[in-house]
């Protein structure tokens, strides 16, 4: 994997989230959308909390604090294709679900603004790191630092689709 390319892609996705944040009406940001499920706010809470936790996993891998385990085949497929299986609506692991909360647009921006320098720092440590060390992901099994970085990209793309579904549900109301 090309770390610089991945970082560029993640930063571009992050810019998309920032841009969307600016256009979501305040009254819709915290409210449950017409299609039910998470509000915009909860999506932002989940995606950037998860991304920040992924950066910690990367740090642990590069500091050789992980375990030496194989990457499972299903995870290799997700990482290779760059997306979760089609039509897969994953249940967020309970431990992460408990962390999701309604946050303000300002709090969402604060999370993004702490993610970006963390991403920069993490990316600088990946290439020289030993790829054998892995930290367990709640769904994909053990991932090394590079694989965690790829997961961040895939996960950001995945939730952009969710934001698109929420946007569409508000448009259908009018």
pLDDT in tens, 49-95: 999 999 999 999 999 999 999 999 999 999 999 998 776 566 777 77
* Type and span of the H or E element at 67: strand 67-68
pLDDT (mean) for 34-51: 94
Name the token pair of 98: 């408990």
Residue-averaged pLDDT of the chain: 93
* DSSP E strand stretches across 104-162: 133-137, 141-143
Contact present, 141 and 32 (Cβ < 8 Å): no
For residue 96, what pLDDT is reported?
75
Please state, in angstroms and rounded to a whole number, the distance separating the CA atoms of residues 34 and 2. 40
pLDDT (mean) for 86-112: 83
pLDDT (mean) for 6-29: 96
SS3 at position 152: helix
Least confident range from 80-94, 104-118, 130-144, 145-159: namely 80-94
Residue matched to tokens 């030496």: 68
Domain ranges of the chain: 3-24+42-171
pLDDT (mean) for 106-123: 97
Residue 64, phi-psi category: left (phi > 0), alpha (psi -120 to 50), beta (remainder): left
Domain 3-24+42-171 belongs in CATH node 3.40.50.1980: no
| Res. 102: pLDDT tops 70 | yes
pLDDT (mean) for 143-172: 95
Backbone angles phi, psi at 91, to 5 degrees: -85, 130
| Res. 125: pLDDT tops 90 | yes
For a pLDDT cut of 90, what percent of the chain falls above it?
82
Please state, in angstroms and rounded to a whole number, the distance separating the CA atoms of residues 172 and 25. 15
Q: What pTM was computed for the model?
A: 0.94
Radius of gyration of the chain measured on its C-alpha atoms: 16
Name the token pair of 153: 């990209």
């Amino acid at each position: 994997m090309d770390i610089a390319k991945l970082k560029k892609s993640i930063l571009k996705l992050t810019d998309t989230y920032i841009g969307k944040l600016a256009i979501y009406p305040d009254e819709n940001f915290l409210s449950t959308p017409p299609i039910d499920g998470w509000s915009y706010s909860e999506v932002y809470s989940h995606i950037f909390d998860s991304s920040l936790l992924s950066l910690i996993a990367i740090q642990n891998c590069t500091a050789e604090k992980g375990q030496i385990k194989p990457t499972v085949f299903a995870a290799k497929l997700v990482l290779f294709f760059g997306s979760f299986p089609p039509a897969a609506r994953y249940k967020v692991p309970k431990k992460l679900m408990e962390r999701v909360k309604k946050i303000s647009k300002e709090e969402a921006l604060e999370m993004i603004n702490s993610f970006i320098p963390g991403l920069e720092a993490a990316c600088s440590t990946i290439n020289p790191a030993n790829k054998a060390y892995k930290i367990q992901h709640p769904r994909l099994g053990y991932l090394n630092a590079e694989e965690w970085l790829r997961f961040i990209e895939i996960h950001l793309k995945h939730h952009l689709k969710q934001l698109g579904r929420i946007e569409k549900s508000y448009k259908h109301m009018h």
